[in-house]
Every structure is written in structure tokens, then in C-alpha cells.
């Protein structure tokens, strides 16, 4: 499997702005794919936000509802990315993959001196994605935006899962 450290575990962190919509969805989707393949002891999945506004909160009810339509639970609580911990090297138990949902998050991580060789956009793993590789922020939109967000997240996670398993 890809990049796993000495313990054979692959670690994946998803990053968005508030950590209540897009990245908790990605966390829930990938965690289900991992569980369905019987790999829960070999892949660790988490998510974090670049912002601090929603620390400790459960995901947005619209994100929970969109994921529930696909049998995906979103058990996370929002937290803010912690450079001291989240940018540590995989040899020290750091993340093998830091997966951003849009370009703002990539820029944020770069400004903080994050490990850019491990930072990728989620939709870059979706071979069908054309045009923008961003998952648009659904927060100020309608329920349909959350369904669209789910579809993009799922397609990206399918590609990411293949990369994790095959590399």
C-alpha cells in the first residue's frame, strides 16, 4: 500500500474550511470504503478545517442528510488543523495524504509551511473530473449543492481509495 509507515498503516487527513461540510463528508465516505474492504485496521482517516469557527461541532445537518442517502455516517467533530501535529512526517506518525477540498485550503497549508509533496486536491483522484478540480463550498447554497458535493466527494474518494490500495 501507498507510503505506509513502519506500522503498515496509511494515514489520510481531509481538509476544508469549516470542517462541517466537505471534509467530514470525505472522511465518512472514505472510512466506509475502507471498512467495506475490511481495511479499517490499516487505514486511518480524519478531517480538519483551516478555520476555527466550528470547533467541536457536529457536521452540518445538510451534509449528514446528503451522506445518509448513501448509507454513509458522519461521526466527526470539527477541529482546526494543527500545524505542529498535522504537518509532521509519516515516519513520526504524520499524515501520508493531506487531501484538500479546494485550492484555498492548498494555499492555506502552503502559507503555514505544510508538506506540499503530500498535499493533493481530492478531485485530482477522479479521472472523470474535468475543468475545476475543486469541490465547491456548499455552505451558503441549497440542498442540491450538498448532493452535488457528495457526488464529487464520492468520485474523488473512489480514486483515492484505488491509489491507497494499489501504490
Q: Which residues carry out catalysis?
A: 16, 22, 137
User: 27 by DSSP, 3-state: which?
Assistant: helix
**What are the DSSP E strand ranges found in the chain?**
10-16, 43-49, 97-100, 119-121
CB of 149 to ligand 4NP, least distance (A): 8
Interface contacts to ligand 4NP, rule CB under 6 A:
16-22, 53, 137, 139
Strand order in the sheet with 10-16: 43-49, 10-16, 97-100, 119-121
Residue 3 φ then ψ, to 5° = 60, 10
Choice between 20 and 99, CB closer to ligand 4NP: 20
Report the nearest approach of ligand 4NP to the CB of residue 112 (Å). 17
Q: Which residue's Cβ lies closest to ligand 4NP? A: 18
CB 125 within 8 A of CB 12: no
**Considering beta carbons, is residue 139 or 158 the nearer one to ligand 4NP?**
139
Please identify, using beta-carbon distances, which residue of 20 and 67 lies nearer to ligand 4NP: 20
How do the residues of the chain divide into helix, strand and coil, expressed in percent and rounded to 5?
Answer: 40, 15, 45
Cβ nearer to ligand 4NP, comparing 16 with 67: 16
CB 147 to ligand 4NP: min, Å: 14
Q: How far is the CB of 146 from ligand 4NP (least distance, A)?
A: 10
Amino acid at each position: 500500500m501507498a507510503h505506509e509507515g513502519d506500522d503498515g498503516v496509511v494515514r489520510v487527513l481531509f481538509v476544508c474550511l469549516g470542517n462541517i461540510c466537505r471534509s467530514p463528508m470525505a472522511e465518512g465516505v472514505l472510512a466506509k470504503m475502507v471498512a467495506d474492504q475490511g481495511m479499517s485496521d490499516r487505514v486511518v482517516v480524519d478531517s480538519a478545517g483551516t478555520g476555527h469557527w466550528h470547533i467541536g461541532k457536529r457536521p452540518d445537518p445538510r451534509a449528514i442528510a446528503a451522506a445518509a442517502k448513501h448509507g454513509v455516517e458522519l461521526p466527526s467533530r470539527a477541529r482546526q488543523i494543527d500545524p505542529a501535529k498535522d504537518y509532521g512526517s509519516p515516519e513520526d506518525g504524520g499524515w501520508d495524504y493531506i487531501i484538500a477540498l479546494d485550492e484555498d485550503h492548498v494555499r492555506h497549508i502552503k502559507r503555514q509551511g505544510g508538506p506540499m509533496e503530500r498535499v493533493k486536491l481530492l478531485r485530482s483522484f477522479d479521472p472523470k473530473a474535468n475543468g475545476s478540480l475543486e469541490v465547491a463550498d456548499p455552505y451558503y447554497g441549497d440542498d442540491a449543492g450538498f448532493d452535488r458535493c457528495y457526488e464529487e466527494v464520492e468520485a474523488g474518494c473512489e480514486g483515492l481509495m484505488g491509489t491507497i490500495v494499489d501504490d
